[in-house]
Structure 1
């Protein structure tokens, strides 16, 4: 993506996140976003058709990287080459912790329900890749994925209330211990 386009998108995302931390999603207008991002109306609409699409893209932007199949070495953690389930969960928790401020603004007010809905769907996909259905042969896969993803969402909510303490490795180990059969 062209650097100017990426810079504009980042500016819009940042402005939108700031607004989400101050106002209810339903009270935010496209004009608010334009003003906060200091861009023109046509620039906004060149990138997004609606604020709903902006929220959708913001969530996708966050989650596509966090849930990438191949883990890479990053500034605060390195799980590259590690493909086990606990490493994947820990990697995701590190990303959430690193974007703590953005997460808190997204999770403020009614935008939280939209965010958690996306989050849960991504987790259902992740768990589908890692869960051994044979271990749960008496449980329908759809129920199992919904249950595990919902449980992880609640774990992240709990962790955020505790100001993201303890460390991601510890939280991931809690989750792994709970889902063991």
Structure 2
């Protein structure tokens, strides 16, 4: 991606996060984002149509990285020697990435954009949930398969929401343990 595009998007994302913390999502306008970012209206509209598009782009960026199967040495953690098929490590890795975006995710979860963000999270976590169920790493209940998938997915989302609503004071490993305790 062109360096100018990266820089512009970064300015818009930073402004979005700042305005989100200050005003909340429902009161935020594109004009607020423009003022905070210093980006011109025409430049903004070259990249996004609405504030919802900005949120969607931010969410996609977070989830693309968080739910990627790349296990490399990173600033806050190192799972480079782990296998993506070790689900305990994979989930811990996901929780570390969510924690790395703590300020932004906390602001999103405290705003009216929470539902849209959690919807996107559910879409991204569902393939992992399906693998956990297929590999019998979560408790099999005598319920329809779709109900079990949704239950396990909601347990993941509930774990994330609990963690962020309580200031992320517990470690990613502990949150992973809570998730597995609810499902094994």
Partner Cα separation in structure 2 for residue 100 and residue 128 of structure 1: 26
1:118 is matched with 120
Partner of 2:33: 33
Match of 1:156 among 135, 154, 160: 160
My pick for the range that moved more, 38-47 or 73-82, is 73-82
By how many angstroms is 1:61 displaced? 0.7
Instruction: Report the 3-state secondary structure (helix = DSSP H, G, I; strand = E; otherwise coil) of the residue aligned with 1:46.
Output: helix
- Tell me the distance in 1 between the aligned counterparts of 2:135 and 2:95: 24
Give 1:15 shift.
Answer: 0.6
110-119 or 122-131, which moves further after superposition?
122-131
Matched, 1:88 2:116: no
User: Which residue in the other structure is 2:64 paired with?
Assistant: 64
Q: SS of 2:57's equivalent? A: helix
Count of matched residue positions in the alignment of Structure 1 and Structure 2: 180
1:1-181 aligned within 5 A: 1-80=1-80, 81-83=82-84, 84-132=86-134, 136=140, 138-180=142-184
- Superposed CA deviations along residues 34-60 of structure 1, whole A, max 9, x for unmatched, are 111101011101111222111111110
* 3-state SS of 1:136 partner: coil
Structure 1 stretches lacking a partner, 5+ long: none
CA RMSD of aligned residues (A): 1.8
For residue 7 of structure 1, report the CA deviation from its aligned partner: 1.1
CA contact (8 A) 1:93 1:168 kept: yes
SS in 2 for 1:27: coil
Q: What TM-score do the two structures reach when normalised by structure 1?
A: 0.90
Give a deviation string over 1:79-134, Cα, whole Å, max 9, x none. 12422111111111111222211111112221112111111221112212332276
CA spacing shift, 1:159–1:137, aligned 2, 3 Å: closer
